[in-house]
Amino acid sequence: MSNTPELITAYVTEGKIEGYHIVAFGEDKNGAKQATATTDKLIGISTRVPKDPGEHVDVVRSGLYPVMYGADIKRGDPLTTDAQGRAVKATAKQAYIGFAEEDGAEGDLGSLFIVPGFAAE
């Protein structure tokens, strides 16, 4: 599994954020929350230490970094979030956080190339 983060930014948690889960912008200027929907504004992956509400969380915004898989994933799949902030394959017209670097199954810690975008039709 590759782990070469390039940009890490600190935010204040809005709700609990688990380690290695997808993170989205929160409501506050410096806030972040664990992603729960493909319509969230996805920004990166939380570092390994879970954080409680109001704590500071480091979010990896670019590079290669581990992420928790929420379904079967194939290398090269564009990945978005499930309701628990885990990585699942993005479908047409969904925001994605990046691309899988390795195959994996639900519950696996896989490698993600973080490059947010929007899946075309």
The confidence score (pLDDT) of residue 121 equals 59
The confidence score (pLDDT) of residue 55 equals 97
Q: What stretch of H or E contains 7? A: strand 4-13
Closest CA to 46 of 15, 72, 91: 15
Residue 81 has pLDDT above 70, yes or no: yes
Rounded to two decimals, what is the model's pTM?
0.95
Q: Which amino acid is at 4?
A: T
Query: pLDDT tens for residues 54-77?
Result: 999 999 999 999 999 999 999 999
Tokens of 12: 């204040």
- Answer for the pair 22, 41: CB distance below 8 angstroms, yes or no: no
Residue 120 has pLDDT above 80, yes or no: no
Tokens of 86: 């885990």
How much is the average pLDDT of 45-52? Answer: 95
Q: Which residues pair with 100 in a beta bridge?
A: 112
